[in-house]
Structure 1
Amino acid sequence: MSSLIAVRLETDGGTVLLLARLSYAADQPYTVRADFFDGPAVLASWQFDREMLVEGLSRPVGEGDVTLRPHREAGGDGVRIGLRSRADGLEGQAVLFVDVGALTGFLDRTYEVVGEGEEFLDLDTLLQEFLAR
């Protein structure tokens, strides 16, 4: 299942509005995938731990490349997502803001797919797929 939600990217030059497609699948019950779009172009793809997203709604979480924390502003409650990337010798940082209601709605739907505490990772199948490579 997936959802499109609006996000704000804060830059030195101001705010850029983007769309994020959040995806969740039962075969990867701990992972939420986020693809960030500007029009038809995918700017970046990230994977988040579902529980970390849930915790980020109410308290600061994360270290290193991904951090989340609640964020209040005049327009309503949100979540601040900090992303840091190091690739090909380059380092970059992004700060995104997402509406709490949009993120909560998506997370609620993930629990309809795989309930809290019902996550299961089939290690035998995962190992077979890994060894087949």
Structure 2
Amino acid sequence: MTHRSAPRVPAQRTSAGGCVMPLALSLVAGPGLRVPVAACLRYSAADPYAVHLDFHLGQGMPVRWTFARELLATGLHGWAGTGDVSVFPGTDQDVRSTCLSLDGDTGTVLLLAPTPAVTTFLAHTDRLVPPGTELRHVDLDTLLTRLLDGPAPGLGWRDGLAEPD
């Protein structure tokens, strides 16, 4: 993939087959009102179908969402997602943005991510685990054991089964 503008902070590889990319998102708080939000996209080959988005809305622990890598990739070019997470191209003519609509227990939030940064992040994930080869990276025995044992104490369903790198 060719990128005209690279993100300010490139994606960093982790030692265990993953990558992390800091992002500067915008929270759409109303018509013409956008609030900057520090965020991070994470990926681990140990959880090859998922990407993790952490963002900070204030002090304390970050808000963590886990959703399909394919959903993020599809949302770069058209509407993707029908549940709690939807991803779609932004309509701003001046800035290429990708919209992430997250519907949680306390309401819906709309975040705008710079499309070049998301594209670069996905290119890194594709080098780690090419699309279509995810199953080769899944430890089915461990996954089955975790599913049968239930989630670890204190983890919600949005936290996923595997802790990313």
Unmatched runs of 5 consecutive residues or more in structure 1: none
Between the two structures, name the one with larger relative contact order (CA 8 Å, sep ≥ 6): 2
Per the alignment, residue 4 of structure 2 pairs with none
Per the alignment, residue 7 of structure 1 pairs with 25
Deviation (angstroms), 1:132: 5.5
Normalising by the residue count of structure 1, what TM-score does the alignment of the two structures yield?
Answer: 0.86
Structure-2 change in CA distance of 1:42 and 1:81 (3 Å): same
The C-alpha deviation readout for 1:35-64, integer Å capped at 9, x for no partner, is: 002476444110010001000000101112
Identity across the alignment (%)? 33
Q: Would you say 1:118 and 2:133 are equivalent positions?
A: yes
Q: 4-13 or 61-70: which moved more?
A: 4-13
| 8 Å contact kept, 1:35–1:42 | no
Deviation (angstroms), 1:75: 2.9
Distance 2:30 2:62 in 1: 18
Per the alignment, residue 23 of structure 1 pairs with 42
Unmatched runs of 5 consecutive residues or more in structure 2: 1-18, 151-165
Q: 49-58 or 111-120: which moved more?
A: 111-120
Normalising by the residue count of structure 2, what TM-score does the alignment of the two structures yield?
Answer: 0.71
Per the alignment, residue 100 of structure 1 pairs with 115
Tell me the matched-pair count. Answer: 129
After superposing on structure 2, the runs of 4+ consecutive aligned residues of structure 1 that deviate more than 3 Å are 38-43, 129-133
Q: 21-30 or 117-126: which moved more?
A: 117-126
